[in-house]
């Protein structure tokens, strides 16, 4: 065919420029030598030459970062069994067999309970809450007499009632707050309880509301107060709830002193006042309060002491709903006292101690965060208070400040604790061996 027409200069400028040739091709043109043939080996070699320096730089940066990276904080961990169970014959308390009862050791735990923990009338045991509210609203310390209370006509009239327990009061009589507390708790004066309510609040109903608020604050979920004296059968509680109240109110020194008095002389009252709680003469027994009524039967909220290893421990207990079945209210009250005493004496014998942790025992270890652990040992024996079958918790904790990354053997790094509450005991724990700085390799290979 005919030859293609030659392109004009203008037409050539409109064509796209040719792409630049690779350096080897250019070199080949200049030297008139063809470029070496591309092979997988030559490609690999070229890539190695390019990436090797980059990889070496990345490794160096990573190593430096690992070296200057903050070390993890060493942590203390428990290796001992997390609980300890006291050994011995099964605990066997002399439960009454009727009503509801419960016994606890303050700060340690429960010795058990009997009967359904359902709200039931508590009679004059209600006065414990009356005293608790009064002492919270009008605190007393030491031998302070407190504020002065004037007896009104109603309190005098009620003192003559023969079908309920009363205190001998006369209109116009001036009593200190302490005196009226004694008349409330020792002879269990219903009229003293109502007088306290009228003195503290505009109405008895408003005072009773304070009693119920206090019960709620103490976690007494099965308790309802409808009067300040407990005469009404609608004032109800449970054994467990009353022990919560006992633990709270017995923190008050003035209250403890009053409920521990078998008798008292009060200025302006001719006769000696005797306590209905005849157990106060028994070894180690102190208050808290008796109560009795036909619907409630005999009730007793008590406290007692026992000494273990030279240390005094307080036991609290309650028996409710003790019915003698004789038709005489006093017999039901006497039954609650005798049944209460059996529980007291059994509990006093049951509380003992045991060595839970021995000096030198490995109880945990320090984890340095690199997979290395250094054992820690107890620095002294730990004896805990308990009774057969009681299970207590063990824990190890640091001393509140960070554990050093290096420390010699014997350095105290925390505490081992047995039990909870007031009954807990603790001892320092120390390193069994040296705690050393992590090696270069550990730091380099550290992940996370």
Per-residue pLDDT tens for 224-238?
Answer: 999 999 999 999 999
* Same structural domain, 342 and 412: no
Least confident segment among 165-169, 316-320, 366-370 = 366-370
Place of tokens 């005293």: 131
* Same structural domain, 306 and 367: no
Sign of CA dihedral 260, 212, 112, 329: positive
Residues near 250 by beta carbon (within 8 Å), at least 6 away in sequence: 256, 287, 288, 303, 314, 316
d(CA 250, CA 218): 13
Quote the pTM value: 0.78
pLDDT in tens, 99-113: 999 999 998 999 999
359 within a domain of the structure (yes/no): yes
* Same structural domain, 34 and 176: no
d(CA 9, CA 293): 128
Least confident segment among 40-54, 239-253, 319-333 = 40-54
Give all strands of the β-sheet with 297-308 in edge-to-edge order: 109-114, 100-105, 311-322, 297-308, 285-293
Q: E strands of 263-310, at which residues?
A: 263-264, 273-274, 285-293, 297-308
For residue 170 the two structure tokens come to 């006369």
In this prediction, residue 168 carries a pLDDT of: 95
Q: Answer for the pair 289, 349: CB distance below 8 angstroms, yes or no.
A: no
374 within a domain of the structure (yes/no): yes
CATH of the domain at 247: 3.40.710.10
Band the pLDDT of 299: cuts 50, 70, 90: very high
Angle at alpha carbon of residue 9, lines to 5 and 13, rounded to 5°: 110
* Same structural domain, 246 and 310: yes
Place of tokens 């690999």: 44
Secondary structure element (H or E) that encloses residue 236, with its range: strand 236-237
Q: What is the chain's length?
A: 448
* Same structural domain, 305 and 219: yes
DSSP letter for 434, please.
-
Strand partners, 112: 103
For residue 256 the two structure tokens come to 């403890």
410 within a domain of the structure (yes/no): yes
In this prediction, residue 29 carries a pLDDT of: 64
Average pLDDT over the chain reads 88
Percent over 70 (pLDDT), the chain:
86
Which of 341, 347, 376, 348 minimizes the C-alpha distance to 360?
376
* Same structural domain, 258 and 281: yes
Residues near 193 by beta carbon (within 8 Å), at least 6 away in sequence: 126, 127, 130, 184, 228, 229, 230
Question: Considering 350, 382, 404, which residue would you say is the last residue of a domain?
Answer: 350
* Same structural domain, 83 and 59: no
d(CA 238, CA 212): 14
In this prediction, residue 17 carries a pLDDT of: 62
pLDDT in tens, 153-198: 999 999 999 999 999 999 999 999 999 999 999 999 999 999 999 9
Question: Considering 296, 317, 350, which residue would you say is the last residue of a domain?
Answer: 350
* Same structural domain, 387 and 268: no
pLDDT in tens, 404-415: 878 899 999 999
8 within a domain of the structure (yes/no): no
Domain hosting 33: range is 23-68
* Same structural domain, 232 and 293: yes
For residue 44 the two structure tokens come to 């690999």
116-120: average pLDDT:
96
* Same structural domain, 118 and 190: yes
**Residue 437 vs residue 286, higher pLDDT:** 286
Does position 8 have pLDDT exceeding 70, yes or no?
no
Query: Would you give the end-to-end CA distance of the chain in angstroms?
Result: 77
Strand-pair category, 297-308 with 425-431? unpaired
Rounded to 10 deg, the angle between the 190-200 and 127-137 helix axes is: 30
* Same structural domain, 303 and 372: no
For residue 101 the two structure tokens come to 């009862």
Does position 253 have pLDDT exceeding 70, yes or no?
yes
DSSP secondary structure of 123-149: GGGGHHHHHHHHHHHS---TT---SEE
Residues near 438 by beta carbon (within 8 Å), at least 6 away in sequence: 71, 368, 370, 372, 405, 446
How many domains, in total, are found in the chain? Answer: 3
In this prediction, residue 350 carries a pLDDT of: 96
d(CA 339, CA 26): 115
103 within a domain of the structure (yes/no): no
Least confident segment among 72-86, 88-102, 205-219, 298-312 = 72-86
* Same structural domain, 336 and 396: no
Residues near 356 by beta carbon (within 8 Å), at least 6 away in sequence: 84, 382, 383, 384, 392, 394, 418
Least confident segment among 39-43, 112-116, 118-122, 307-311 = 39-43
Question: Considering 350, 380, 403, which residue would you say is the last residue of a domain?
Answer: 350
| Letter string b/e over residues 329-351, b meaning 16 or more CB atoms within 10 A of that residue's CB | bebbbbbbbebbbebbbbbbebb
């Amino acid at each position: 065919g005919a030859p293609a027409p030659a392109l004009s200069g203008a037409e050539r400028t409109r064509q796209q420029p040719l792409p630049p040739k690779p350096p080897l091709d250019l070199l080949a043109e200049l030297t008139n030598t063809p470029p070496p043939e591309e092979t997988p080996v030559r490609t690999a070699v070229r890539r190695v030459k390019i990436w090797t320096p980059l990889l070496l730089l990345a490794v160096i940066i990573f190593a430096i970062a690992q070296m200057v990276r903050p070390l993890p904080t060493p942590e203390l961990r428990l290796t001992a069994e997390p609980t300890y169970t006291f050994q011995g014959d099964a605990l066997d308390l002399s439960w009454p067999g009727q009503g509801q009862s419960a016994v606890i050791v303050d700060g340690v735990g429960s010795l058990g309970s009997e009967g359904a923990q359902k709200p039931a009338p508590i009679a004059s045991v209600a006065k414990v809450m009356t005293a608790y509210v009064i002492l919270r609203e009008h605190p007393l310390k030491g031998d302070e007499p407190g504020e002065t209370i004037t007896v009104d006509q109603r309190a005098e009239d009620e003192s003559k009632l023969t079908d309920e327990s009363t205190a001998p009061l006369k209109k116009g009589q001036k009593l200190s707050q302490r005196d009226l507390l004694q008349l409330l708790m020792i002879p269990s004066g219903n009229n003293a309880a109502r007088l306290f309510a009228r003195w503290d609040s505009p109405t008895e109903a408003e005072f009773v509301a304070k009693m119920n608020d206090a019960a709620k604050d103490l976690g007494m979920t099965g308790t309802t107060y409808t009067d300040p004296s407990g005469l009404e059968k609608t004032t109800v509680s449970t054994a467990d709830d009353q022990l919560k109240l006992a633990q709270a109110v017995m923190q008050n020194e003035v209250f403890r002193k009053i409920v521990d008095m078998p008798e008292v002389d009060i200025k302006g009252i001719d006769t000696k006042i005797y306590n209905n709680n005849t157990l106060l003469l028994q070894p180690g027994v102190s208050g808290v309060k008796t109560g009795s009524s036909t619907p409630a039967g005999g009730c007793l909220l008590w406290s007692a002491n026992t000494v273990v290893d030279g240390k005094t421990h307080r036991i609290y207990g309650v028996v409710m709903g003790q019915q003698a079945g004789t038709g005489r209210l006093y017999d039901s009250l006497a039954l609650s006292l005798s049944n209460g005493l059996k529980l007291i004496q059994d509990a006093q014998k049951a509380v003992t101690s045991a060595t839970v942790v021995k000096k030198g025992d490995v109880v945990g270890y320090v984890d340095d965060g690199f997979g290395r652990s250094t054992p820690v040992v107890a620095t002294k024996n730990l004896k805990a208070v308990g009774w057969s079958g009681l299970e207590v918790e063990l824990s190890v904790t640091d001393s509140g400040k960070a554990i050093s990354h290096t420390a010699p053997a014997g350095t105290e790094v925390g505490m081992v604790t047995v039990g909870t509450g007031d009954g807990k005991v603790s001892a320092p724990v120390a390193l069994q061996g040296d705690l050393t700085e992590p090696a270069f390799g550990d730091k380099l290979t550290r992940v996370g």
